[in-house]
């Protein structure tokens, strides 16, 4: 049955969209995205994600910009605890803070200063993180005086130095300790404007000068601690050479030799000779061996490093390492070196062995391939006959000096030191020396008797004078106490 034209036209009209209807020609995927686009939760989340991305980018940009700005405008200086400058700076920082506080408190109102300087004095920089440092000083009467000082502790501190502001950040690592001494690892970071970076040179020079003044006129004694040198107590007041009375000419001879060595470094290098020198001081106890070394160090502005060869834990490698890292301008002193191997036994590999250090290890530390140069070594002993010939051969010991019993010259010099102000004419000195002659303690003037049966030490003479420091008659009458029992 065929459809008439009127029917076809009716079907088309009936299938046509009504007026106002929208005909969608999109494909299926377009409809999928349209659904999400029309979802308010999706569009809101997308907006938040975009906003977060913008913030993250801005934050990163600001961080990089701040880092770039810091590199351009600021400068940092790091100081670690192993550097000598570390302690110098802490000491300087403490003194500098005290000065600033004192200036702020004691400022003169009539003094004419600028507005900015006036404001800076009104609001001085302060430290809010402090640590305590304890120091002990022995007074002449034997009493010990204890002092406490507050020093900058871990944390951030703001300093003002020569119109420049410096941020000092002291950091203490709680999980990292030094292998040598077991102390926590610490660093100080100093930050200031790049344009004021030259201020650090002046600051460190001032800190060094301040540290030098704190030990001026004093001798520092070092002792080994694990694998490093540590200060032993407070620096000691320098002892003068005049305070040590040796036999006539002995002191001057040693001093001249040490001074000649210290100014002959280039001479040694030109001839390829190791630049080191050793001295052996031997004699009876109380003859002034240790006292002379201390006085010599003070005279030459040197410090002293004491080594006890009988110390438990002191091995050959550790001794050798300690000798090579000796602090500058420091004498090495091995006291009573004979006692370290007095009970030595034979070891199969290392020769004689004492408490821990072997005899071969001591020889290598003094004059081995790895032994350090620019070194002055002093050995002391009361029994020189007990020392092995390998220890005192030239190259290890270059000069041997005997500091024996007190002589007539030494007794006279000690008398002058104690009673010279009240015995100007020397009458009582003559009486005392005659008493010593009669007791066989010293020789008669201009004579050399074959043997003195009652010889004594300078330490015993000094003890007698100390006992009678206000009585010359008591010293003369007590001369008999010096006789050997």
What is the C-alpha to C-alpha distance for residues 71 and 57, in angstroms, rounded to an integer? 21
- The H or E element spanning position 168 is strand 164-177
**In this structure, how many other beta carbons lie within 10 angstroms of the beta carbon of residue 100?**
18
Rounded to the nearest angstrom, the gap between the alpha carbon of residue 381 and the centroid of all alpha carbons in its chain is: 29
Q: Give residue 252's pLDDT band: very low, low, confident or very high (50, 70, 90).
A: very high
Q: pLDDT tens-digit profile of 352-386? A: 554 578 888 889 889 888 787 889 999 999 999 88
- Tokens for 225, please give them: 């601690």
What is the C-alpha to C-alpha distance for residues 369 and 364, in angstroms, rounded to an integer? 7
Residue 25 φ/ψ, nearest 5 degrees: -110, 10
Minimum mean pLDDT range among 55-59, 205-209, 441-445, 447-451: 447-451
SS3 content of the chain, % helix, strand, coil (to 5): 40, 20, 35
Helix spans in 141-239 (H): 199-214
How confident is the model over 335-351, as a mean pLDDT?
64
pLDDT at 206 over 70: yes
Q: Give residue 26's pLDDT band: very low, low, confident or very high (50, 70, 90).
A: very low
What integer best gives the mean pLDDT of the chain? 80
Q: Which residues pair with 98 in a beta bridge?
A: none
What is the C-alpha to C-alpha distance for residues 40 and 346, in angstroms, rounded to an integer? 93
Q: Give residue 21's pLDDT band: very low, low, confident or very high (50, 70, 90).
A: very low
Helix spans in 148-264 (H): 199-214, 250-262
Residue-by-residue DSSP string for 427-442: HHHHHHHHHHHHTTSS
How confident is the model over 428-436, as a mean pLDDT?
92
Q: Kindly give the pairing relationship between strand 236-237 and strand 276-282.
A: unpaired
In 3D space, the residue among 156, 162, 169 whose CA is nearest the CA of residue 202 turns out to be 162
How confident is the model over 187-193, as a mean pLDDT?
90
What is the C-alpha to C-alpha distance for residues 295 and 450, in angstroms, rounded to an integer? 33
How confident is the model over 260-289, as a mean pLDDT?
93
- Stated pTM of the model: 0.70
How confident is the model over 24-45, as a mean pLDDT?
58
**Contact assessment for residue 234 and residue 136, using Cβ atoms and an 8 Å cutoff:** yes
User: Terminal CA-to-CA distance of the chain, rounded, Å?
Assistant: 162
**Contact assessment for residue 328 and residue 284, using Cβ atoms and an 8 Å cutoff:** no
458 Cβ neighbours under 8 A, 6+ residues apart: 245, 286, 287, 288, 406, 410, 414
Predicted pLDDT of residue 7: 53
């Amino acid at each position: 049955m065929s459809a008439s034209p009127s029917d076809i036209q009716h079907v088309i009209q009936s299938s046509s969209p009504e007026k106002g209807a929208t005909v969608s020609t999109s494909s299926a995927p377009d409809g999928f995205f349209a659904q999400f686009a029309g979802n308010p939760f999706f569009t809101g989340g997308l907006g938040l994600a975009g906003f977060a991305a913008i913030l993250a980018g801005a934050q990163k940009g600001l961080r990089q910009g701040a880092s770039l700005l810091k590199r351009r405008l600021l400068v940092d200086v790091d100081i670690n605890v192993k550097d000598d400058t570390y302690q110098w700076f802490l000491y300087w920082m403490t003194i500098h803070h005290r000065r600033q506080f004192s200036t702020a408190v004691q400022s003169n109102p009539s003094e004419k200063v600028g507005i900015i300087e006036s404001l800076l004095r009104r609001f001085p920089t302060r430290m809010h993180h402090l640590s305590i440092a304890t120091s002990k000083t022995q007074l002449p009467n034997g009493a010990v005086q204890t002092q406490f000082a507050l020093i900058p502790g871990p944390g951030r501190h703001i300093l003002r130095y020569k119109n420049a502001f410096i941020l000092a950040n002291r950091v203490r690592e709680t999980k990292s300790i030094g292998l040598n001494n077991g102390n926590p690892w610490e660093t100080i970071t100093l930050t200031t404007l790049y344009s004021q970076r030259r201020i650090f040179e002046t600051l460190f020079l001032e800190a060094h000068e301040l540290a030098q003044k704190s030990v001026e006129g004093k001798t520092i004694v070092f002792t080994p601690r694990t694998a490093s040198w540590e200060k032993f107590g407070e620096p000691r007041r320098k002892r003068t050479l005049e305070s040590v009375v040796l036999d006539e000419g002995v002191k001057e001879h040693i001093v001249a030799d040490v001074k000649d060595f210290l100014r002959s470094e280039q001479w040694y290098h030109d001839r390829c000779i190791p630049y080191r020198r050793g001295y052996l001081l031997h004699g009876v106890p109380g003859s002034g061996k240790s006292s002379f070394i201390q006085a010599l160090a003070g005279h030459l502005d040197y410090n002293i490093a004491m080594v006890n060869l009988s110390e438990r834990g002191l091995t050959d490698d550790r001794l050798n390492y300690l000798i090579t890292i000796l602090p500058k301008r420091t004498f090495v002193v091995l006291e009573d070196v004979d006692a370290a191997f007095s009970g030595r036994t034979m070891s199969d590999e290392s020769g004689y062995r004492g408490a821990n250090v072997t005899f071969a290890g001591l020889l290598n530390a003094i004059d081995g391939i790895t032994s350090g140069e620019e070194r002055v070594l002093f050995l002391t002993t009361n029994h020189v006959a007990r020392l092995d010939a390998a220890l005192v051969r030239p190259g290890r010991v270059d000069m041997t000096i005997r500091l024996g019993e007190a002589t007539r010259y030494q007794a006279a010099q000690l008398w002058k030191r104690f009673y010279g102000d009240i015995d100007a004419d020397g009458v009582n000195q003559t009486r005392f020396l005659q008493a010593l002659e009669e007791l066989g303690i010293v020789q008669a003037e201009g004579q050399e008797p074959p043997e003195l049966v009652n010889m004594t030490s300078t330490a015993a003479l000094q003890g007698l004078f100390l006992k009678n420091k206000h009585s010359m008659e008591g010293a003369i009458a007590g001369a008999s106490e010096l006789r050997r029992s």
